[in-house]
Structure 1
Amino acid sequence: MTVHIDTLTERSAAAVVVVFPHAGGSPRFFAPWSSSLPETFELAGVTYPGRDALLDAPSAPDIPALAADCAAELAPLARSRPVLLFGHSMGGHVAFETARRLEGIGCPVAGLVVSGADAPSRGTIERWHLASDVELADHIGELDPKIRAVLAEPALARMFLPTIRADYHLVETYRADPWATVSCPTVVVSGDSDPEITPDGIARWIEHAPGGCRFRFTRGGHFSLATDPSEIYRCLDEVLGTRVG
């Protein structure tokens, strides 16, 4: 099992933002950021098994194993330049576990920004990975109408749903220990109409980032960052300034 780190910008900058996609997602989701991300940053993305160039690779057994592979790939980069990890939804938990592993081997992490994700130790009682294809597609379509249109095509549904289901299995069987922490500056971003998060789940992030956890609340649903990533950019600037500015 392996992951890829893909470059999404063609410039050299002082720091690198590494994006960790949501369930079923790939770095291509964040490609539009390459034209609007402040020039302070380069942009790179993690490709998980089961999609894009890794379409035939088997899914990770769990999120900690996936994060271990991500940390191994990112360690050389983290030793050479400031690296900020941004994770959305499932990617928030993968980014958190990756930051833990990088810090555990002495690789500094300049900052962690997560959006659309409850605290790692909260867990979930949902079991969408056991739902029928129709139920799973409907659930995903409620979060993002663009995905609904894709999954309405039978051939595309057959292609994408197995990967989405495997990712949901990772999310829905994951729960970190309450004492699992990172030391890097951390910002948690939450949309005010995001059905995938809870007030308690957001508040408990502070337990996992005792060195400094801040919260930002925005208007919008689960994928509002796709149309307006400006708040994410402000958070990246904030944590970069805290660490190396």
Structure 2
Amino acid sequence: MTTTVPSVSSWLRRPLPRPAARTSLVCFPHAGGAAAFYTPWARLLPPDVELLAVQYPGRQDRVGEAPAGTMDELAGAVAEALRVDRAGRELVLFGHSMGASVAWETALRLEGSGLGPRHVVVSGRPGPGRQRPGTVHRRDDDGLAAELRRLGGTHGDLLDDPEVRALLLPAVRADYRLIETYRPDTAARLRCPLTAVTGDRDEEATEAEVAVWRTATDGPFTGLVLPGGHFYLVAQAERVVAAVLGACGAPAPSAHPVLP
């Protein structure tokens, strides 16, 4: 794998460009995930909100780049991309699993530069101080693939294809190494509101563990539990998007109301 110096624009994807939007919903993928995971969300947003999906290096159209080695490297690069791209818009950050930690760290850096987001929503990840170290990144390819199957966020047929596995697993392993060796500053606090969401059957991020995110901000905190396991948001995209918009004070599109 070659190492290149990415441009700022290489970090952000716009599945449905909305140049006149007043708010950018910036979405951070899970370990091994890519910007395309959030593409279906773009059409669920109202006209004045544009989806920006973060593309980590080492996957899809960035497969030739070395994956980020540390949280500081990853969050610092995304924060810089957002500072350049912002164009006066309000930012709302959403991250799932590993992406929750990347979103929080990015928000801390944005606030440090005086360009903090309006709201941060973290999903499927224990709060700082309850995050679990792990050794999944040390497993062989079969062990790594087995973990992906267990969590259910990757189509099994992709893991059955040797050529796809060869392209997919290096980035997955790098992401797991990053997040399993990551040690958050438990004294760090955002100033903006923070919402934490998890599935009621998510063993990777229990309701009690996710509630610890209330210590990660000095702003208002809201906890939300939805039905499902670690990838509860796949089957409930409309409900999750409506909840994110509601948390930020933006109305959900009339065609996609919040479900009971």
Give the alignment's TM-score, normalised by structure 2.
Answer: 0.87
User: Distance in 1 between the 2:142 and 2:216 partners?
Assistant: 36
CA distance in 2, matches of 1:146, 1:50: 17
Q: Are 1:104 and 2:104 counterparts? A: no
Aligned equivalent of 2:13, options 3, 6, 10: 6
Structure 1 runs (4+) greater than 4 angstroms displaced: none
> In the alignment, what sits opposite 1:34?
42
Residues 160-199 of structure 1, C-alpha deviations (whole Å, 9 max, x = no match): 0111000000110012121111111111011011121134
Q: What residue number does 1:191 align with?
A: 199
Matched residues, number: 242
8 Å contact from structure 2 (residues 13, 54) kept in 1: yes
Write the distance in 1 (CA, Å) between the matches of 2:102 and 2:154.
24
- Identity %, equivalent residues: 36
**1:116 and 1:196 in contact (8 A); partners too:** yes
Cα distance in 1 for residues equivalent to 2:153 and 2:212: 30
195-204 vs 126-135, which moves further: 195-204
- Give, in whole Å, the separation in 2 of the partners of 1:231 and 1:121: 29
The structural deviation recorded for 1:72 is: 0.4
For structure 2, the residue ranges without an aligned partner over 5 or more in a row are: 251-260
In the alignment, does 2:138 pair up with 1:127? no
Matches within 5 A, 1:159-170: 159-170=167-178
| Aligned mates of 1:221, 1:39 — CA distance in 2 | 31
2:108–2:189 CA contact under 8 A, matched in 1: yes
Deviation at 1:145, TM superposition (A): 6.5
Q: Secondary structure at the match of 1:10?
A: coil
CA contact (8 A) 1:38 1:233 kept: no
What one-letter code is carried by the residue in structure 1 that aligns with 2:13? D
Counterpart-to-counterpart distance in 2, 1:46 and 1:159: 19
Sort the Cα spacing of 1:156 and 1:34 in 2 relative to 1 into closer, same or farther, 3 A: same
Alpha-carbon separation, structure 2, partners of 1:27 and 1:146: 14
Mean CA deviation greater in 147-156 or 100-109: 147-156
- C-alpha distance in 1 between matches for 2:41 and 2:153: 20
Aligned to 1:241, the other structure's residue is in SS state coil
The answer for unaligned runs of 5 or more in structure 1 is none
Q: Distance in 1 between matches of 2:11 and 2:134?
A: 29
The SS at the match of 2:223 is strand
Query: CA separation of 1:145/1:10 partners in 2, compared to 1, >3 Å: closer, same or farther?
Result: closer
> What amino acid sits opposite 1:73 in the alignment?
A
Are 1:77 and 1:83, in contact at CA under 8 Å, matched by a contact in 2? Answer: no
Whole-Å separation in 2 of the counterparts to 1:75 and 1:158: 34
C-alpha distance in 2, partners of 1:82/1:156? 38
Give the Å deviation of 1:37. Answer: 2.4
**Distance change >3 Å, CA 219–CA 194, structure 1 → 2:** same
1:155 aligns with 2:171: no
Give the Å deviation of 1:217: 0.4
> One-letter code of the match for 1:33?
W
Residue in 1 aligned with 2:245? 237
RMSD: 1.7
The 1-side partners of 2:145 and 2:95 are apart by 22
Query: For each residue in 1:124-152, what CA deviation from the matched residue of structure 2 results, as whole angstroms up to 9, or x when unmatched?
Result: 13210001111110111111174322111
